[in-house]
């Protein structure tokens, strides 16, 4: 039987190597790899859904010595989102970069990032997570610098430094845990960890490092310039996938490794930071002058929503209510991933056609680029959290949890965030209906709009109406 766990990492890695070896054929190699990888991961996700937890020890070496890969429901859900978004980004990028000079660098780095992301979701021990995390960071930084402009280089450098700082802090936490328990395997650690200063310090260090990478306010400073200046397909991947990967690790640590009852105060602290992110990120998005900058700040806000779940999750007794919250959190993350990728792809389209992405001068896009405007509108529905999107279901459950727990500040933040998101989305969409003449240089081919449209529809209709399936998938192993 083929080991789909290993394939999820090796396929894109092989593709990356092939693209380095044959730069002329990079585009074709990239597209084929994208299709094959997505098919492989689809098989893996189906296996997890049907047969439960999948685990493999590479080379037959078991923990704590060897490298283990493991897929539970949570990993499978994020893998599914990541690979679908990555496929759409690949299809889009093959048009966006075409046969231009950047493609030689784009495809190897992109496939490397893809392999690293898959590796991160599948890693079953803390050190492999570190390696995957660094690989994701390095590939992402290099991709963000692709255009080579001064702004992009400055932003990437800042991104790299923040990312390295986060990773090294995380690694120190890992060292402390190894010192205390002599193992790095997630499963073995979960049973071994007891309350105490070492476990605490390790959690603080690891969470701190990861929240820099997840751009949790106020450690988000590196994100807007990096995501705003990267080429559109790269921005899409960075905003939809890379920050989510870091968040996924925080989630694993908090609700997979640690006993949560001991960390209620800390969870509240993360919740407050999340609230700050929602308000500050949305406000900055509202004030942004450029579309991509707006989208980047919106990512800061959306990451904040995810952290708002933490105090609720930490306070909830294990059982159906907590599983509902956790599933809502994942649903939120997935919806946002799809929608944000769609938004950035559409923004890239507008930038290509209008020659800029200054919001104040984007009048008349609804007339000139109807499909692109439609994508932005659909993505906005998810970002605001309106029905019928998955984000709406998730927001309903978040509000439910907050009201049930008596956390009225959380309710107010969510409602204010909704209104702010509506304000910044419709600042753009309102312009799109205007008739002031704006020069657009290209007539768009229909097939270039399909990837973004598919992503936006998945976020807004797919996850909204079929979100129930996620609950079944998340029953497989994973944090309780």
Partner 1 sequence: MITALLYTAAGLLLFCLGLWSFLMHRPLLRKLIALNVMGSGVFLVFVALAYRGPEGAPDPVPHALVLTGIVVAVSATALALALGRRLEEAERD
Partner 2 sequence: MTLTAWLPALIVLSSAIPGLVIFFLKEEQVAARTLLNMAGATVKLLLVGLLILGIQDHQVFESRLALAPGLELVLHADALSVLLVALSSGLWFVTTIYAIGYLEGSPYRSRFFGFFSLCVSATVGIALAGNLITFVIFYEILTLTTYPLVAHRGTPQATRGARIYLAYTMIGGVLLLAGAVWLQVLAGPVDFIERGMLAALPVERFGQLQAIFFLLIAGLGVKAALVPLHGWLPQAMVAPAPVSALLHAVAVVKAGAFGIVRIVYDVYGVEFAQALGLLTILAVLASITIVYGSVLALLQDGIKKRLAYSTVSQVSYIALGTALFGPLGTIGGLVHLVHQGLMKITLFFGAGNYAETLGIHKVADLDGVGRRMPWTTLAFTIGALGMIGIPPVAGFISKWYLGIGALKAEMDWAILILAVSSLLNAAYFLPLLYRAWFRDPPAAWPKESIPRGALETRASLLVPPLITAALALALGLFAAAPFGVLEWCRLIAAREYGL
Residues that bind partner 2 (CB under 8 A): 320, 324, 327-328, 331, 364, 366-367, 370, 374, 381, 386-388, 392-393, 396-397, 399-400, 403-404, 411, 415, 418-419, 422, 426, 430-431, 433-435, 464-465, 467-468, 471
Are the CB atoms for 202 and 177 separated by under 8 Å? yes
Stretch that binds partner 1, among 41-49, 95-103, 135-143, 419-427 (CB under 8 A): 135-143
* CA-angle at 343, arms to 380 and 9, nearest 5°: 125
Q: Which two tokens stand for residue 150?
A: 């001064």
Nearer to partner 1 by Cβ, of 170 and 310: the residue is 170
C-alpha distance from residue 321 to each of 295, 398, 404, 409, 433 (Å): 32, 11, 10, 20, 43
Place of tokens 């430094």: 161
List % helix, strand, coil for the chain (3-state, nearest 5). 80, 5, 20
Residue 161 or 403 with smaller CB distance to partner 2: 403
Contact window for partner 1 (CB under 8 A) among 95-103, 140-148, 243-251, 408-416: 140-148
Residue 374 binding target from partner 2, partner 1, none, CB below 5 to 8 Å by type: partner 2
Omega before residue 406 within 30° of 0, cis: no
Cβ atoms of 213 and 167 closer than 8 Å: yes
User: Residue 445, exposed/middle/buried by CB under 10 A (0-12, 13-18, 19+)?
Assistant: exposed
Read off the tokens for 39. 């098919």
Shortest Å, Cβ 371 to partner 2: 9
Residues 363 and 333 sit within 8 Å (Cβ to Cβ): no
> Binding of partner 1 at residue 127 (CB under 8 A)?
yes
Write down the least CB distance from residue 302 to partner 2, Å. 18
Identify the residue among 6, 31, 36, 131 touching partner 1 (CB under 8 A). Answer: 131
**Chosen from partner 2, partner 1, none, partner binding at 168 (C-beta under 5 to 8 Å by type):** partner 1
The strand pair at 68-71 and 54-57 is best described as: antiparallel
Q: Which does 164 bind (CB under 5 to 8 A by kind): partner 1, partner 2, none?
A: partner 1
Q: Is 120 in the site for partner 1 (CB under 8 A)?
A: no
* DSSP bridge pairs for 56: 69
Q: In whole angstroms, how close is the CB of 129 to partner 1 at the nearest point?
A: 12
Residue 370 binding target from partner 2, partner 1, none, CB below 5 to 8 Å by type: partner 2
Q: Are 250 and 207 in contact (CB under 8 A)?
A: yes
Quick one: what does residue 147 bind among partner 2, partner 1, none, with the CB cut-off 5 to 8 Å set by partner type?
A: none
For residues 305 and 49, the answer to whether their CB atoms sit within 8 Å is: no
The answer to the question of residue 185 lying near partner 1 (CB under 8 A) is no
- Judged by CB under 8 A, does residue 447 bind partner 1? no
Q: Compute the distance between CA of residue 400 and CA of residue 1 in angstroms, rounded to an integer.
A: 45
Give whichever of 98 and 182 is closer to partner 1, judged by the CB atom. Answer: 182
- Establish if 177 lies at the interface with partner 1 (CB under 8 A): no
Q: b/e string for 390-428 if b means 16 or more Cβ within 10 A?
A: bbbbbbebbbbbbeebebeebbebbeebbebbbebbebb
Q: Is 200 in the site for partner 1 (CB under 8 A)?
A: no
- 160's contact among partner 2, partner 1, none, with CB below 5 to 8 A by partner kind, is partner 1
Q: Which does 328 bind (CB under 5 to 8 A by kind): partner 2, partner 1, none?
A: partner 2
Q: Which C-beta is closer to partner 1: that of 141 or that of 369?
A: 141
Give the integer Cα–Cα distance in Å for 17 and 13. Answer: 6
For residue 120 the two structure tokens come to: 């991160």
C-alpha to C-alpha distance for 42 and 140, rounded to whole angstroms: 24
Nearest to 20 by CA among 30, 10, 11: 30
Minimum CB separation of residue 208 from partner 1 in Å reads 11
Closer to partner 2 at the Cβ: 211 or 393? 393
- Shortest distance, position 161 Cβ to partner 1, whole Å: 6
Alpha-carbon distance of 110 to 233, in angstroms, equals 10
Among 25, 35, 168, 194, binds partner 1 (CB under 8 A): 168
**Shortest CA distance to 106 belongs to which of 154, 139, 153, 83?**
139
Q: Least Å distance between CB 134 and partner 1?
A: 5
> How near is the Cβ of 435 to partner 2 at its closest, in Å?
4
Contact track, partner 1, 53-92, x by CB under 8 A: -----------xx---------------------------
Report the interface residues with partner 1, using CB under 8 A: 64-65, 127, 130-131, 134, 137-138, 141-142, 145, 148-150, 153-154, 156-157, 160-161, 164-165, 168, 171-172, 175-176, 178-179, 182, 184
């Amino acid at each position: 039987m083929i080991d789909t766990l290993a394939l999820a990492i090796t396929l894109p890695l092989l593709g990356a190597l092939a693209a380095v070896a044959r730069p002329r054929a990079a585009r074709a190699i990239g597209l084929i790899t994208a299709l094959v990888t997505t098919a492989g991961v689809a098989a893996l996700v189906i296996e997890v859904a049907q047969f439960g937890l999948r685990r493999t020890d590479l080379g037959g070496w078991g923990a704590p010595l060897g490298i283990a890969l493991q897929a539970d429901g949570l990993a499978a859900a994020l893998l599914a989102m990541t690979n679908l978004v990555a496929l759409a980004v690949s299809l889009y990028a093959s048009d966006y970069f075409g046969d231009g000079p950047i493609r030689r660098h784009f495809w190897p780095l992109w496939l490397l990032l893809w392999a690293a992301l898959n590796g991160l979701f599948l890693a079953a021990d803390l050190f492999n997570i570190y390696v995957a995390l660094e690989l994701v960071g390095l590939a992402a930084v290099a991709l963000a610098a692709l255009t080579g402009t001064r702004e992009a280089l400055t932003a990437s450098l800042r991104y790299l430094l923040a990312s390295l700082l986060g990773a090294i802090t995380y690694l120190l936490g890992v060292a402390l845990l190894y010192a205390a328990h002599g193992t790095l395997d997630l499963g073995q650690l979960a049973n071994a960890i007891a309350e105490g200063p070492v476990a605490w310090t390790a959690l603080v260090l690891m969470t701190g490092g990861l929240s820099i990478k997840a751009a949790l306010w106020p450690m988000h400073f590196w994100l807007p310039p990096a995501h705003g200046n990267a080429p559109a397909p790269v921005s899409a991947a960075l905003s939809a996938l890379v920050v989510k990967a870091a968040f996924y690790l925080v989630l694993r640590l908090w609700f997979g490794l640690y006993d949560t009852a001991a960390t209620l105060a800390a969870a509240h602290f993360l919740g407050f930071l999340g609230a700050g992110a929602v308000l500050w990120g949305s406000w900055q998005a509202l004030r942004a002058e450029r579309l991509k900058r707006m989208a980047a700040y919106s990512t800061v806000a959306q990451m904040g929503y995810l952290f708002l779940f933490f105090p609720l999750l930490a306070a909830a007794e294990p059982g159906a209510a907590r599983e509902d919250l956790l599933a809502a959190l994942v649903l939120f993350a997935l919806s946002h991933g799809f929608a944000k990728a769609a938004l950035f792809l559409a923004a890239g389209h507008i930038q290509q056609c209008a020659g800029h992405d200054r919001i104040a001068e984007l009048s008349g896009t609804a007339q000139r680029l109807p499909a692109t405007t439609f994508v932005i509108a659909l993505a906005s529905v998810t970002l605001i959290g309106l029905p019928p999107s998955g984000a709406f279901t998730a927001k309903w459950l978040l509000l439910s949890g907050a009201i049930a727990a008596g956390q009225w500040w959380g309710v107010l933040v969510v409602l204010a965030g909704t209104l702010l998101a509506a304000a910044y989305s419709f600042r753009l969409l309102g312009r799109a209906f205007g008739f002031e003449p704006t020069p657009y240089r290209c007539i768009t081919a229909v097939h270039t709009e399909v990837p973004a449209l598919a992503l936006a529809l998945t976020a807004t209709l797919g996850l909204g109406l079929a979100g129930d399936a996620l609950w079944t998938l998340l029953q497989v192993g994973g944090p309780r």
